[in-house]
Structure 1
């Protein structure tokens, strides 16, 4: 796994690995602390699909670090919920190996795909139909974006490949990003092209 925006205490993991998400001082956060932050980020509503998707993801990561008698039942249950509810009903596809930082907000949940080894920093905002993933089927699963802190994604944005998105970047609706973006940058798709208006009367006369 490539390192994320915040290094773990041993310097080998990313923002989150088997050691869990870490604070700015590199001390680990507990599962409860992460879930509480996610709940507060989602308007303190446990019914929001974005919160539920993150809750299942946090539990799957937590279960992978527990002894088998504890972790296996939790992992199996979360796997079923993730497939049947989070992915098939809510339309949010998040793998256990996706690295997610603190206080991610999934504002609109349909069509969200966060790649297997994608890394997302703290305080990011995700909107509907976002794709973070590899650039093609022939690439390695590890060829996923690394996203910094405070990044905002517009609806329908596509961010693919082994690229780095700096802190505070804004990616507009429908943008396709396949290159590194420096901190504070803004990336927007070309605006819609205005075509000549059709005249209904002319169409009828032509026919």
Structure 2
């Protein structure tokens, strides 16, 4: 038990630059307190003491603002940062080295008792603040979920998902996530990645750029027709395409 606690504290210090020492983490980090109480609640749940498990879970919620059902499976070195408003459902599975920020829900969309209603986070997943992961699917190893994303389908390993509903931004197929060191090297706070723009926004910007190119080509054709003595006055009255204004709307 104490070795797991030391491991958790060391992992939090690695992931959070605001953590100054082990004593501060042990006494002032509600995410750690919630994980510790969950281990006790899960033990009671596994021993058939269902009410005791739920009561301990409720006490943890009162003191930390984090609700973890005693039936949920939480791996090693899981860091719930800030944590207020985090909800983890009964059949959820959180793998080793995952990081979950405040306001996250690992929820279920099915009402069938006994089924796998809640998501599985594979090793090294990062879930940004306010993200909602809903359903009994798997978020692959090393995946990143952007803040306020609403994920309702499986996310491939190494991918980044953003938006509502969530869309895949990028995927690093060559990433290896079989060790603590690798997961730490790939860590990005709140799931923020370089060049991680919404793919829909990228597509719209591409269409606007293409329309701008076509507008310039049309201007060239009209100029050539005018030089040849062909009147194009009615075409010239058409309002010019304003790419800058549209790009601002998309951003």
Report the TM range for the smaller structure's normalisation: 0.5 to 0.7
1: distance between equivalents of 2:5 and 2:37? Answer: 10
Which 4+ runs in 1 deviate beyond 6 A?
A: 190-195
Contact 1:35 1:58 in 2 (8 A): no
What secondary structure, in the 3-state scheme, does the structure 1 residue paired with 2:57 have? helix
How many Å separate the matches in 2 of 1:97 and 1:107? Answer: 21
TM-score (norm 2): 0.55
- What's 1:51 paired with? 32
The structure, 1 or 2, with the larger RCO (C-alpha pairs under 8 Å, 6+ apart) is 1
Does structure 1 conserve the Cα–Cα contact (< 8 Å) formed by 2:143 and 2:156? yes
Larger radius of gyration: 2
Q: Is the Cα contact below 8 Å between 2:41 and 2:56 reproduced in 1?
A: no
Matched, 1:60 2:75: no
Q: Which of 31, 35, 45 in structure 1 is aligned with 2:5?
A: 35
**What displacement does 1:36 show?**
2.5
Where 2:26 maps in the other structure, the secondary structure is coil
Q: How many positions carry a matched residue from both structures?
A: 156
With normalisation by structure 1, the TM-score equals 0.66
User: Gaps spanning 5+ residues in structure 1: where?
Assistant: 1-30, 196-207
CA 1:65–1:159 in structure 2 vs 1: closer, same or farther (change >3 Å)?
closer
TM-superposed CA distance for 1:42, in Å, is 2.9
CA distance in 1, matches of 2:248, 2:61: 36
Provide the rounded CA distance (Å) in 2 between the counterparts of 1:128 and 1:104: 14
Aligned to 1:189: 163
The whole-number CA distance in structure 2 between the counterparts of 1:63 and 1:35 is 19
Q: Contact 1:38–1:54 (CA<8 Å) still a contact in 2? A: no
What is the root-mean-square deviation in Å for CA atoms of aligned residues? 2.6
Residue deviations 1:16-40, cap 9 Å, x none? xxxxxxxxxxxxxxx3332322222
- Larger helix fraction of residues: 2
Report 1:40-189 matches (<5 A). 40-43=10-13, 44=22, 45-47=25-27, 48-64=29-45, 76=52, 80-84=55-59, 86-135=60-109, 138-140=111-113, 142-189=116-163
Q: Whole-Å Cα distance in 2 between the matches of residues 51 and 90 of structure 1? A: 9
Shift of 1:135: 1.9
Contact 1:119–1:146 (8 Å) recurs in 2: yes
